Each structure stands twice: as C-alpha cells, then as structure tokens.
Amino acid sequence: MLRRGLTLEFVIRFDDRVVIVTGAGRGLGAAYAELLARRGATVVVHDAGVERDGSGGDPEIAARVARAIVSAGGVAESAAQNLASREACDELISGVLSTHGRIDALVQSAGIVRYAGIADTPDSEWHRMQQINVDAAWWLCRAVWPSMREREFGRIVLTTSGFALRPIPGADVTGYSVGKAALVGLMNGLAAEGAPHRILVNCIEPVAATRIFRREVGKHEMTPESVAPAAALLASEECRWSGQILVAQDGEFAFDRMVRTQPSQAATPEDLLDLATRDAPDLSL
C-alpha cells in the first residue's frame, strides 16, 4: 500500500492540458479540480448544482469553485449541464472542444446515492440513479471518445465504490451499488478499446466525508483533499496503465485486484477454500 510522503523522481504536471471534472462544485470533485489546476491544468469545473435528491439546479455551485481557482492563479471555467440526458452530456463535451479544441482528460465524479434496499427503492429513484451514475458516464465517454482517438491520447477516470465491489454488512445502497459496478464494466471495455490509441481508462474508488456521508468524522479525517492525488495520477500523462481500480482513503492508496491461484488443471474446491482462508481478506459476512 502506498502512503503519504511517497517521493517521486518527477513532478506530475498538467500544463497545456484541458481536463473536465464533473460533480466538481463540492466535495471530491472540487478537490480534484483544485489540485489539477494547481498543477497547471485548464480545468472545466462541471456541476449541475442539484440538491441531494437530484432536484433543482444552481450554476453558481460550479462557478464559485472556478472563481476560487482563478483567484488562486489557476485557469478554470464552469459548466452546469444536468447530465441526466444524452443531449446535456453531448453539449458539455462539444462546448469544451469548441472552446479549447481538445480534451486531455475526463474525470467523471458526478453521482447520486439513494439509501434504500431493493424492495424499498421506487422505480423513479432507480431510473434516476441509472441516469446519473451509469448513463451519464456512457454518454460522456462516447462523446469525448472520437476526439481522443483522433489525437491518439486521452485519460478517463471513472468513479466506482466499495459498495459495488464487495458486500458491506448493513449497507442499504443496492441501486447505487449496481450503478457503480456498471462503471467497472465500462472501464474494462474502454480500456480494451482505447489501448491502440493511447487512451487509458481507470477507476478511482474513493472514500471521503462528503455531503452523502452519514457518520460523523473528525475535522481532518477522510477529507476529499486526501483522495485527490489518486484522481490526478490517473488523469495524468504519467499514468501508464489501464483497466485498474485505485482505492483512495484518508491518504492511503492501493490497487484493488483479484486474488488469483497458481494455474492448476487439478484444482479442487478444497484448494479454493484454502486460498480464501490463507491469502484473501475475510470474505464472510
């Protein structure tokens, strides 16, 4: 596991790079946008400015972050499309391409969560979660893909969740978990498609105290800023891998990979039981 204080022999910079960060008006997305701008990126701060339930819309939410970046000496602009429709996703991408002529990285951080089990999730809430958590990522990637492929360069960072990758006792976010698991499939498909064109696609699995967090945390615990280095790395030219999930929590980072056995044509169920008992984390509920 990588920890704070890791020393690199080079500095990751984003000079002359254009990066879109969705959901960047608050929390994780804002921390990503601010770090990228400090490292030289031209950042498009996107946020529809909706309430936690998805209602409303306030363009000032994104504009305020963009102004703060500019005041600190960075380069930023804001956008506030509601990404629930393909048309809005296309509008965001085409607008940035029209203004800047390029998009070097897309960090898809926008998402919504509903707290309910499968039997208690209304149809309307299920469809809304899929619109924002799955469809928006699909349409944004589809819209940005041709320009990245033409330029033979691109970085896409999708956001998954621990709720999607493993059972967490007591969780009541099944609809949200489904959407975040879908993004792992999107990552894998696009990582394969993008490889010949130098387009790398990865997921970040962040844990931070944002407005959807439900338990009390300390003032300096689980801050969005402690997660931001992972998003910056995956969005950078120095990123060299694709189809990976980078877990980021409270300044600690690790790649989330499958546990694999040694090849054996004679493996038994008991061999796998031994693997789960000896080499894997506790998988029991």
Residues with active-site annotation: 176
Residue with tokens 């984390």: 281
* DSSP character at residue 152: T
Count of beta carbons in the 10 Å neighbourhood of residue 90:
16
Question: Rounded to the nearest 5°, which phi and psi values hold at 252?
Answer: -115, 145
Q: Which helix (H) or strand (E) holds 51?
A: none
CA distance 38 to 30: 12
CA distance 136 to 177: 16
How far, CA to CA in Å, does 258 sit from each of 42, 162, 169, 205, 255? 36, 14, 21, 15, 10
Amino acid at 78: S
